[in-house]
Amino acid sequence: MARLDGKVAFITGVARGQGRSHALRLAEEGANIIGVDICADIASVPYPMANEDELAETIKLVEETGQSIVASVADVRNYDALKNAFDQGVSQLGPVDIVLANAGIWPTSLDPEVHLSSWHDAIDVMVTGTFYTLDITVPSMIERDQGGSIVITSSTAGLKAAGRDYYAVNSGRIAYTTAKHALVGLMRTYANTLGKYNIRVNTVHPTGVNTKMVVNDNFAQHAAKNPTEAAALQNSLPVQLLEPSDISNAVAWLCSDEGRYVTGSTFVVDAGFTAR
């Protein structure tokens, strides 16, 4: 018997990267998946965002595990669209037991035209989008009265500030760190208020992960121009980037009965980055 047999998980940012990896890992453990992704670019984000072909690939890969998935295009900044996607998924797969608020961006463009929008986009996607995700999903979990697990994707940037040179750190990077810290406060508030319903809430804090958020030309150019900043992003263990599956393994554990007494935790998977 798999650890998540009979469970339904709602995952944002599911088309690729960590979101896709989480969907596959939870499906391998027996969960059915409801997923959303924006599948469109955001002007302040200097790398291509996920697209509908990638979302279709996620659907295919999950179905190959033998589990069901209902995935649709929805922007976490759009409350009505997100709720509609959630409601459609629940109508087909049943109520959710697991929520992974995973959608995130790194709007690090140095284009002065997006200086202010970089800030707003980061806060809107990662803070407001996570609040919307929880606001939409939590009432149904309480009503079902079967407990559950919520995991919010933060970052090592949600525990310590990176960057030592003011001129190498732009508004988007400042907003990213601010948003990832804010998610810890959001998590702790929900963990306190939902504990009596046996709903556990945690944040997961990865170091750099091998996804298009960091493996792209913009990041490489920034690292080349700012070697001191790049050096500050090194891990203690001799690994440059983790794989998405490394984070998914931790998420699956947090969502399983093995993690049944873990709540209000900043769960770090960082190869020692925060210890440096």
Active site residues: 176
Distant-in-sequence contacts of 83-91, Cβ < 8 A, 24+ apart: 83/136, 85/34, 85/36, 86/10, 86/34, 86/36, 86/136, 86/137, 89/8, 89/10, 89/34, 89/35, 90/8, 90/34, 90/140
Mapping DSSP to helix (H, G, I), strand (E, B) and coil, where does residue 273 land? helix
Distance CA 191, CA 151 (A): 11
Pairing outcome for strands 98-101 and 148-153: parallel
Sign of torsion over alpha carbons 259, 91, 124, 14: positive
CB-CB contact of 139 with 150 (8 Å):
no
Distance CA 216, CA 50 (A): 13
- Could you tell me how many helices (H) and strands (E) the chain has, helices first? 9, 7
